[in-house]
Amino acid sequence: MADTLSTRKDAIAPVAALLDWPGTAWLARLALAAPFVVSGLVKLTDFNGAVAEAAGLGLGLPVLVAVAVIVTQLGGSVLFLTRRWCWLGAGILAGFTVVATLLAHAFWTYEGPDRARQTATFLEHLAIVGGFAAAAVLSHRRGGRA
């Protein structure tokens, strides 16, 4: 029994070391924020495309919507990547993801293969929201030191 416990500890030691490494939490947050950083930068560099995207979703005041999306994606990402404001950035990006998913991936309005694709995308975005919630919880438990 003791040999089994010792072997188990030896097997998980590299995982524990990775989880204890200070950069792991930041890299995990960067991976979760990456789609929002890239999207925000693309919209910033192709503002007309961002306006067209907002208009294509049938949203009024597409210029204002495009500006709000860029500020939300980039500002929320910056906050999320910090230790002190991680929880706030997580909340901003999670809220944005919920609204954007409901607007752009309303799977219940599709039929056939399109419905399956939209459902999958909807659920993937739901998983991202869960990731932000987990990051906020861990940040809160560590007193903003995540």
Q: Across residues 108-133, what is the average pLDDT?
A: 96
Inter-residue contact 90 to 77 (CB < 8 Å) = no
The H or E element spanning position 113 is helix 112-141
- 4, amino acid identity: T
Distance CA 43, CA 64 (A): 13
Tokens describing residue 38: 């890239």
Residue 43 has pLDDT above 90, yes or no: yes
Tens of pLDDT, residue by residue over 64-113, are 999 999 999 999 999 999 988 999 999 999 999 999 999 999 999 999 99
Neighbours of 21 (CB within 10 A): 11
| Strands of 3-142, DSSP E | none
Residue 10 has pLDDT above 90, yes or no: no
Neighbours of 86 (CB within 10 A): 25
Closest to 27 (Cα-Cα) out of 143, 135, 142, 141: 135
Residue 13 has pLDDT above 60, yes or no: yes
- At 14, the pLDDT band (50, 70, 90 cuts) reads confident
